[in-house]
Amino acid sequence: MESMTTDARRRPTTPREIAELYFATWAAGDPEPLREFLSPTVTFDGALGSTRGPDEFLAGLAGMFAATTANDVRLRLADDSDVVTWSELHIAGGPPMQVANWTHVVDGLIAAVRVTFDPRPMFVDDARN
């Protein structure tokens, strides 16, 4: 797997470019290239958990990366400090889940990520039993 480095290409500077890097690290299976783009006080909040600080944030992402087979971006909207990305998250053995990811960027660093999703695909097997 090729390492995701910002040295080999132009450094992301806009919130949209930083969000694109976030999802590119997902595709590569390695969240570490995001570290330099995380605020020291970065927060993550979603239906399945919360993290505080870069180390927890990256550990949480690594866990998500390991549990998923793909995260297909369908739409991305951005302004001067916020990016909303709509994606289809694929977890092995189940149908894709529709996910909304809101990334808030301050001074070129991810300050907060909020995620919400439709959990019904997680319960498909439960409904059949």
- Look at residue 92 and give its three-state secondary structure: coil
pLDDT tens column, 9-50: 689 999 999 999 999 999 999 999 999 999 999 999 998 899
- C-alpha–C-alpha distance, residues 47 and 88, integer Å: 16
Return the pLDDT at 92: 81
Reference 12, options 24, 2, 28; nearest CA is 24
Structure tokens at 73: 């971006």
pTM score of the predicted model: 0.86
- C-alpha–C-alpha distance, residues 106 and 38, integer Å: 10
pLDDT tens column, 91-112: 887 899 999 999 999 999 999 9
Q: What is the mean pLDDT of the chain?
A: 90
**Hey, what domains does the chain have and what are their CATH numbers?**
15-128 (3.10.450.50)
